[in-house]
Amino acid sequence: MYSWVDMREINNTHSPRRKHINYMHKKTEKEKPAPQNALTTEQFLSLYSNKKTKANYRLAIKHYLRITTGRAVSNKNLNTACDRYIEELTAGNRNYYLDCKTYGQKLCETYSPTTANLYLRCACLWLEECGFPLTKRERQRLTAQLPPPKPKKCEIELKRKTLRIIYDALPKHMGTLLLVLLASGMRLGETLQLKKTDIRWEEKRTEISIPAEITKTKTARTTYLTEEAAEALLDYLQMRKDKDERLFLITRESAQYHLRRAAVQLGLTQTINGRTQSIHWHMTRKWFISRFSLAANKDVAEHIAGHEGYLSVSYRRYTKKQILKEYIKAEKKLSILKGRE
């Protein structure tokens, strides 16, 4: 602790001690160690197999560097421009949060809300992979300055009560499929390609290992089932008499037909201002991510659901044990048959 005499000397901007403290603070800021396990821009872009996704990230990074540095950036000099910018961050000569804020403001002036949100998210993920992550609060502040994206489709808001009604209206095997999708965040196509051997009936939570070859991102991942979904799936499998290795004996066409039929029977399709509101299987993924995020980490929800951009980040940031812990925290929010809002 400083005495009042020490403090008086420190507060004097011309004193030797004050100058020494200022020097040490400046030195500490300048000599930040280089980020560990950081990726180069090319390594970051190589994480994405989808050409359109990779092109979006490349374009977002170019726009980011042009806006924040004022330099000309093209595909030819992109790597050089990225390296120079990262060097400036490492040296402490730039504030990447303020740069992201400027970037978001400029995007709002030029692009639609949806595109602005996409490009800002791309830039933030790129920075994170390069070793410069934003805090949760910083990301919230950046998102708050952007206008909300306009909905692409006119969809019915899925509530727990609505999902219960849909579940009761579906045939038993389709109801089981609904519970599995709501609990796991999987895509319909992924779920219908699973085999019985992909399921592990663990003590804590039933685990599903999704092979890379059946995923959209061509990256294997793990998800889990709520107790109610696991019970329904086990009942469905025990009821079957066949020896088929497939987890579900359901086609995509059959699944679409039964869901549309239930929606019509329940009066869940309606036309407003020339636009038809309806329900579809992809809405279960939106339900999973939004409900999971209410009780646990959103990044983990995006990772479990298999969204590109979150897979590589979460694999390094969270262990399997931590991901399961987050899932258990969110389980109550993901269940539709047990408990009420």
Compute the CA torsion angle 137, 142, 146, 149 (nearest 10 deg): -60
> 98-136 pLDDT, tens per residue?
999 999 888 888 787 888 888 898 999 999 888 898 888
pLDDT recorded at residue 294: 94
Residues 6+ apart with CB under 8 A from 4: none
Q: Is the Cα dihedral 109, 110, 113, 118 positive or negative?
A: negative
3-class DSSP state for residue 32?
coil
> 198-257 pLDDT, tens per residue?
999 977 899 999 999 999 888 899 999 999 999 999 999 999 989 999 999 999 999 999
Q: 161: which 2 tokens?
A: 């009560």
Half-sphere exposure at residue 57, Cβ-oriented, CA atoms within 13 angstroms: 23
* Range of 20-24, 161-165, 269-273, 336-340 with top mean pLDDT: 161-165
Angle at 136 between CA 133 and CA 138, to 5 degrees: 75
The single-letter DSSP state of residue 135 is: P
Does the pLDDT at position 64 exceed 60?
A: yes
3-class DSSP state for residue 70?
coil
- Please give the Cα distance from 169 to 279 (Å, whole number): 14
Q: Where are the beta strands (DSSP E) in 1-60?
A: none
Where is average pLDDT lowest: 14-28, 98-112, 259-273?
14-28
Residues 6+ apart with CB under 8 A from 283: 155, 158
pLDDT recorded at residue 42: 84
Cβ 338 vs Cβ 228: under 8 Å = yes
Top pLDDT among 96 and 6 is at 96
pTM assigned to the model: 0.57
Residues 6+ apart with CB under 8 A from 217: 49, 50, 306, 308, 311
Question: What single letter denotes the amino acid at residue 158?
Answer: L
> 133-158 pLDDT, tens per residue?
888 888 888 888 877 655 555 556 78
Does the pLDDT at position 316 exceed 80?
A: no
Give residue 76's pLDDT band: very low, low, confident or very high (50, 70, 90): confident
